[in-house]
Amino acid sequence: MMELPETISWNWLRYDSAREAVWQTWLSAAERQRLDAFRQAQRRRAFLLGRAAARQLLATRLGIPPDRVPLVAQPDEPPQVPGTGLFVSIAHAEDMALAAAAPHPVGVDLERLRPRPPELCRYVLHPEEYPVLQQFKTDPGQAIVWCWAFKEAVLKGMGVGLRCSPKRLRLVLETPTQGRMRLEDGTCWRVQAAEREGYVWAFAWPENS
């Protein structure tokens, strides 16, 4: 799929109603409480799928059962795995979820690859970044999806999410599927993505990791 650093492991899941009951047994009491609080079925499914993908990944990496993984997360905060030295990131879109783990900050995003309205560019891109859209081998309506996925992966890896404007990050592409994201303080993150099953799968990690 792509050549990520050996330090990064990842896992993805597609929703399967036959597996839902098993996935729920993996959750902590706090996670089950959060799951029960969702009123919309789609949000419940996304939360469960993301946690299942992360727990399955971390269980393999740590050599323990999924329900023993010390995965914790507060609402609107990035998930953590205390006592393991690992960072984890989770993304979900529709009926799919993606998770990544590493001994350094890591971020992932998952976006359905479909044209988006032009006004999204004004939210995602700094005016100096507009030429970047021409470097993607697709139309601008889909190119912005790749830009958005790259930037959200970095923001999630930083642990700030959308509390930070995407326009504060500057994307420098090396190829249509990888490049560097420059932050205002001069630090950089590596970004890499691929198209798979109609989605953009994006990964980000600090350049000097």
Report pLDDT for 74. Answer: 78
Torsion of CA 109, 126, 166, 8, to 10 degrees: 40
Nearest to 102 by CA among 11, 177, 200: 11
**Mean pLDDT value of segment 119-131:** 86
CATH 3.30.465.10 fits 9-103, yes or no: no
Is the pLDDT score of 190 beyond 90? yes
**Mean pLDDT value of segment 98-120:** 92
**Mean pLDDT value of segment 47-70:** 97
Q: For 129-183, what is each residue's pLDDT tens digit?
A: 888 888 887 777 888 999 999 999 999 999 987 788 898 999 999 998 999 999 9
Quick check: 202 and 111 in contact, CB under 8 A? Answer: yes
The burial of 39, by beta-carbon neighbours within 10 Å (0-12 exposed, 13-18 middle, 19 or more buried), is given as exposed
Would you say how long the chain is, in residues?
209
Q: For 61-81, what is each residue's pLDDT tens digit?
A: 999 999 999 999 877 788 999
Indicate the average pLDDT of the chain. Answer: 92
**For 109-206, which CATH superfamily applies?**
4'-phosphopantetheinyl transferase domain (3.90.470.20)
Is the pLDDT score of 22 beyond 80? yes
DSSP tag of 189: E
* Fold match, 9-103 / 109-206: yes
Is the pLDDT score of 83 beyond 90? yes
Q: Tell me the pTM.
A: 0.94
Task: Sketch the domain layout of the chain as residue ranges.
Answer: 9-103, 109-206
Find residue 179's DSSP bridge partners.
Answer: 173, 191
Sign of CA dihedral 195, 58, 56, 48: negative
Number of H helices and number of E strands within the chain? 5, 9
